[in-house]
Structure 1
Amino acid sequence: MIENIGIIGGSGKIGSTFRKAFESVGLKVMVTDDSSKNHEDELIEKSDWVILSVPIDKTVDVFDSLKNKIRKNQVFSDFTSVKSILGDETYDFEFVSCHPLFGPLNTIEGQNIVTIPVSEGNLYPSIKDVFKKIGLKITEMKSLREHDKYMSLIQGMTHFSHVCFTTAMKKLDLDFDKVMEICSPIYQSNISFSSRITGGDENLYTNIIMDNPANKEVLQMYLDTSSRLLDMVKDQNYEDFKSNFNDNRDYLKNHISDMIDQSNFLIDKMAEFKKGSKTS
């Protein structure tokens, strides 16, 4: 049973978010950061569950410095977005790697988290119980590599395409205020999501794109696909372009209705927001 949680890096945005969530369900939480690093041993000693929540580029060094201190009756987790950097070691303690698929929010209820039982033990069910108590939806993956393969699409390709979109938009040098005035909610939402990435932590997004080894192949495929479609546009090849469009529709046929409903919901919310911003 988990009663005491220690978060190394717990003063950061994600660490603070989880500290608040854990405490809201009656758990005791101790945190350390760079300014209180001398208390790490105390944190490990007192915790049933030790969580590492530091930037991607610091994860390996911090993990290496503390993994020999984790006891067999404890469980250890990391919250990093890229898992392959942790290697393929075996551990003599329980290790459940986790990936919260959200940033710092006022409430995390209904958000998704991935769990990967690297070396499973008795406390894994308790971890899942805690996540359920704070309202998270859990998806379990089999390995660190499987996680990174899926993230190469969900994060790598998505973030990369938003960076490309914003960079190209900047090069067009159009009047941005006029662009937003013309945009209907569906197009404005795309610019909003790209702006959300641009307004985020450049170190985080750079590491997510650069450090996942699965991204190189996936991003090359993305660029090759873009190049092939661009050739169709240059050649005015209407038939092949429409054929590709229909192939995509067939690929999504079991989900497209739900996806349209979800996008309609977002578009309606964007329209409400845009209307409210004009009247305020």
Structure 2
Amino acid sequence: MLNSCHTTLIPKYRTNHVAPRQITIIGGRGRMGRLFKEQLSLVGHNVSVLEHEDWEYADKLLNQTELVLISVPIEYTVDVIKRAAKYLAPTTALCDITSVKTQPTQAMLEHHSGPVMGLHPMFGPNIKSLFGQKVVVCPGRNDDSFQWFLDFIKSQGGELIVCTPEEHDQMMVIVQATQHFCRFSLGIFLAQSKVDIQQTLTMSTPNYRQEIDIVKRLFSQNPHLCVDIMLATEERCDAISFLADTYSRLAKLVAMKDREALIQEFDKAQSFFEEKITSFMQPLNTIAIQRDFQPKLHTNISI
């Protein structure tokens, strides 16, 4: 459990007047990069973009900026951090928004002497605003340098969740990687079976319609992003393998029509959820109390 994580629920308001900041987004023409460029530009910040063909201008784009935001595929993140760090002033704030946090945060701390923070937006690039969206914050160094950026996220109605990079990566194995695999597998199965999705929706339950919508959104994404999320770490690969073994074991019980064994599996899982239900429902009952809570961004990370 992430007992050291803090959730902040932000009042629903928008700031229209801000002091313009100089920001460079590496990967700013990608879908997530474009989203952050649009949201930051809307409130008056000056946002530049650096893509792979723009490195001859890196000194100008990176040295004279207040915040460098790295928004590139997982497999390139650490290399881009190392390359970008050579151009940064000691006062430049550096952060990334990839879905893995331990390695990127360590790389930023190692290669940049200035402010460092890891972020993980818990949403895709198709959203219209940050309102109601979660962003995981992994503090690194000189947290105060990012306060204006975090205030921007909060002013748009975002929700900040603060934890260490290690805690983040541990939770994303379950929250993200295995869920991606489940829906990836379901989508592949439906495609291979040539199921008439439209016909199934005419007589579907609300849960089925919701699940099909999630699968559809998964397969509307860049395939490289979806696969990278599953393959990002050995822990993710191991968990997916364990999940697949579980599927296989249960499928064998179904094939043998072993009703009693399946009921025993159900009973064990039911006991697990009954035991945990109080703890994971509790935050929903304390939303009002936590509404004004502000995160303390002071986590020491050794590298």
Q: The TM-score by the shorter chain falls in which range?
A: 0.7 to 0.9
Report how many aligned residue pairs link the two structures. 259
SS in 1 for 2:252: helix
- Check if 1:223 corresponds to 2:241: no
2-side partners of 1:103 and 1:93: how far apart? 29
Deviations for 1:115-155, whole angstroms, at most 9, x for unmatched residues?
11133443133332222122221111212x33222111111
Letter in structure 1 aligned against 2:241: Q
Letter in structure 2 aligned against 1:178: Q
2-side partners of 1:33 and 1:140: how far apart? 29
Q: Which residue of 79, 97, 103 maps to 1:61?
A: 79
Q: Which residue of 52, 76, 79 maps to 2:97?
A: 79
Q: Is the 8 A contact 1:74 1:93 kept in 2?
A: yes
Shift in Å at residue 252 of structure 1?
3.2
Cα distance change of structure 1 residues 255 and 33 upon mapping to structure 2, 3 Å threshold? farther
1-side partners of 2:28 and 2:227: how far apart? 22
Structure richer in helix, relative to its length: 1
SS in 2 for 1:116: strand
Q: Which residue of 1 aligns with 2:10?
A: none
Shift in Å at residue 87 of structure 1?
7.3
Q: Is the 8 A contact 1:15 1:53 kept in 2?
A: yes
2-side partners of 1:257 and 1:132: how far apart? 24
- Check if 1:139 corresponds to 2:161: yes
- Check if 1:3 corresponds to 2:21: yes
Q: Which residue of 1, 8, 19 maps to 2:37?
A: 19
Greater relative contact order: 1 or 2 (C-alpha under 8 angstroms, separation 6 or more)?
Answer: 2
| Unpaired stretches in structure 1, ≥5 consecutive residues | 262-280
Q: Is the 8 A contact 2:105 2:118 kept in 1?
A: no
Moved more, 48-57 or 249-258: 249-258
Q: How does 1:113-124 map to 2 (within 5 A)?
A: 113-124=135-146
1-side partners of 2:233 and 2:81: how far apart? 18
SS in 1 for 2:86: helix
What TM-score, normalized to structure 1? Answer: 0.81
Q: Is the 8 A contact 2:105 2:140 kept in 1?
A: no
What TM-score, normalized to structure 2? Answer: 0.75
SS in 1 for 2:135: strand
Shift in Å at residue 161 of structure 1?
0.9
Q: Is the 8 A contact 1:2 1:123 kept in 2?
A: no
Q: How does 1:32-71 map to 2 (within 5 A)?
A: 32-71=50-89
Moved more, 180-189 or 247-256: 247-256
SS in 2 for 1:206: helix
Cα distance change of structure 1 residues 214 and 51 upon mapping to structure 2, 3 Å threshold? same
- Check if 1:112 corresponds to 2:134: yes
Q: Which residue of 2 aligns with 1:162?
A: 183
2-side partners of 1:133 and 1:24: how far apart? 13
Q: Which residue of 191, 203, 212 maps to 1:182?
A: 203
Letter in structure 1 aligned against 2:73: P
2-side partners of 1:170 and 1:14: how far apart? 28
1-side partners of 2:72 and 2:20: how far apart? 22
Moved more, 105-114 or 236-245: 236-245
Shift in Å at residue 257 of structure 1?
10
Q: Is the 8 A contact 2:28 2:37 kept in 1?
A: yes
The percentage of counterpart residues that share the same residue type is 24
Letter in structure 1 aligned against 2:99: S
1-side partners of 2:152 and 2:119: how far apart? 13
Task: Please report the RMSD computed on the Cα atoms of aligned residues, expressed in angstroms.
Answer: 2.7
- Check if 1:197 corresponds to 2:215: no
Cα distance change of structure 1 residues 246 and 25 upon mapping to structure 2, 3 Å threshold? farther
